[in-house]
Structure 1
Amino acid sequence: MKVKGLDKSRDHAEGVVKARSLAELGALKKELQARAREAARLEAQRREAQQRAARERELFARAVGPVQPLKDRRLAQLDKPRPQPVPAQRQLDERLVLRESISDEFDVETLLDTDESLSFRRPGVGPDVVRRLRRGEWVIQRQIDLHGLRRDEAREQLAEFLREAVKAGLRCVRVVHGKGNGSPGREPVLKAKVKSWLVQKDEVIAFTQARPAEGGAGALVVLLRPAG
């Protein structure tokens, strides 16, 4: 004896299972198609790369012309440690140029203005430039501290500092040389040397003693030549 209610429930369940199976098959088909398209795209890229490499090899062969392989001399290939790529000669040349570009024998006193700060300005630079520099109208963009260094070290570091400042397009910098209180006889040796070195650098167009808040007698505010 058949029960109609049970038959209907069974038919409904079977229909749901079939519909779900068809949906899963449809999703699987779409995924397989997407994978196939991706594989085709990657294969096309690989072939294009191979063709491009072949064209480049052919172009190189045409430019170089016929070549012959070197004879195998059966030499042992030893892995020797290679030196670090340090431009030692260039660094040495630069140090020599910096050292020779400024002299300790240069008499700067005849070129300094006879005011309380012993300021300096190049010919053609008006006195108003020094006054504006002393008033702090130019913003100090970078500084170097030299006090405590030996004379040769201070000279080379100052020259390098000025070179990098000009390369960076700076206009106003501060050079701290100290007041010389710790020098033998309390003579400000480095202070006088720094002024002499600055006068010899063409990129320096003016300098003056810093204001008290910026170092006073222990520093100079330097105006550099504008780029170009």
Structure 2
Amino acid sequence: MKKLTSMADLEGVRRSLEAQRLEAERLGEIKAEKARIKAEEEKKRHDEANLFKRQVRDVTPLRDVNIKIHKPVKPLPIARQRELDDESVLWESISDEMDVERFLETDDKLSYRRNGVGLEALKKLRKGKWVVQAQIDLHGLRSDEARTAVGEFLRSSVKHDIRCVRIIHGKGLGSIGKEPVLKEKVKRWLVQKDEVLAFCQAPPRDGGAGALLVILKARQ
């Protein structure tokens, strides 16, 4: 085990443990919500079955004469991957209220790396040594539209095995009060996305303060 030699090491451990705790809480909430919906669906099916039995309890069954039994029609194949994609959209829950600052590296770029991601990968990202393979421009989008667009963009990128992307959120010069609203929200969204391994502010040639460079996990 690596010996902790400074307050920075201790702070790194604290951030890592806190990130793991928040991730576990998020997954627990999703699991609980799925269980609740499943229980409601089971209860509904049970109630409907009992209702049918009560409605037909006084009906006299017909005699089994002149009955032709047809072979069941084989159902069409299920697009399982599409179902998984739809489910991921359904359960996507990213908040605008998360306190993202505690997850960010304390450098001038306010970088982020998920627990287990090496510092070297983030250093290369800051220096622009990762090749940007795709990008999305959020200019002109409202907050909800931007959040949906970012989620879909990340899923599509991972599906096509794209590892490095640029998200252009703008500098907020056209917003009320000249505040970079999307800039801060995008950071919150990315921290909560499983697809995201690390991100940092883009170097000047790639958009500077108006964009983020993001490393995504490899396609499974």
TM-score by length of 2: 0.59
The number of aligned residues is 142
Q: Aligned with 2:99: secondary structure?
A: coil
Rate the CA distance shift 1:181–1:128 in 2: closer, same or farther, 3 A: same
Match for residue 147 of structure 2? 155
5+ residue gaps, structure 1? 1-66, 70-88
Residue 136 in structure 1 maps to residue 108 in structure 2: no
Q: CA deviation at 1:114?
A: 1.2
C-alpha distance in 2, partners of 1:96/1:110? 28
1:161-172 equivalences under 5 Å are: 161-172=153-164
Whether the aligned pair in 2 keeps the contact of 1:147 and 1:190 (CA below 8 Å) is: no
Q: Considering only aligned residues, what root-mean-square deviation do their CA atoms show, in Å?
A: 2.4
What amino acid is aligned across from residue 144 of structure 1 in structure 2? Answer: I
The match for 1:110 among 102, 113, 116 is 102
- Identity in percent: 58
Map Cα deviations across residues 42-70 of structure 1 (whole Å, 9 max, x no partner): xxxxxxxxxxxxxxxxxxxxxxxxx699x
Q: CA deviation at 1:96?
A: 3.9
Map Cα deviations across residues 84-136 of structure 1 (whole Å, 9 max, x no partner): xxxxx9998665434x2x11121111100111111100112222211101112
Match for residue 45 of structure 2? none
Residue 204 in structure 1 maps to residue 196 in structure 2: yes
C-alpha distance in 2, partners of 1:204/1:91? 17
Q: Aligned with 1:158: secondary structure?
A: helix
Map Cα deviations across residues 169-210 of structure 1 (whole Å, 9 max, x no partner): 010000000001111111111100000000000110000111
What amino acid is aligned across from residue 167 of structure 2 in structure 1? Answer: V
What amino acid is aligned across from residue 178 of structure 1 in structure 2? Answer: G
C-alpha distance in 1, partners of 2:164/2:88? 24
Rate the CA distance shift 1:68–1:134 in 2: closer, same or farther, 3 A: closer
The match for 1:178 among 151, 170, 173 is 170
5+ residue gaps, structure 2? 1-67, 71-82
Q: CA deviation at 1:226?
A: 1.5
Rate the CA distance shift 1:150–1:129 in 2: closer, same or farther, 3 A: same
C-alpha distance in 2, partners of 1:92/1:170? 20
Whether the aligned pair in 2 keeps the contact of 1:95 and 1:156 (CA below 8 Å) is: no
Rate the CA distance shift 1:216–1:90 in 2: closer, same or farther, 3 A: same
Match for residue 219 of structure 1? 211
C-alpha distance in 2, partners of 1:187/1:107? 18
TM-score by length of 1: 0.57
Whether the aligned pair in 2 keeps the contact of 1:178 and 1:218 (CA below 8 Å) is: yes
Whether the aligned pair in 2 keeps the contact of 1:108 and 1:196 (CA below 8 Å) is: yes
- Structure richer in helix, relative to its length: 1
Q: Which moved more, 1:119-128 or 1:151-160?
A: 119-128
Map Cα deviations across residues 143-184 of structure 1 (whole Å, 9 max, x no partner): 000122100000000000000000000100000000011111
Residue 97 in structure 1 maps to residue 87 in structure 2: no
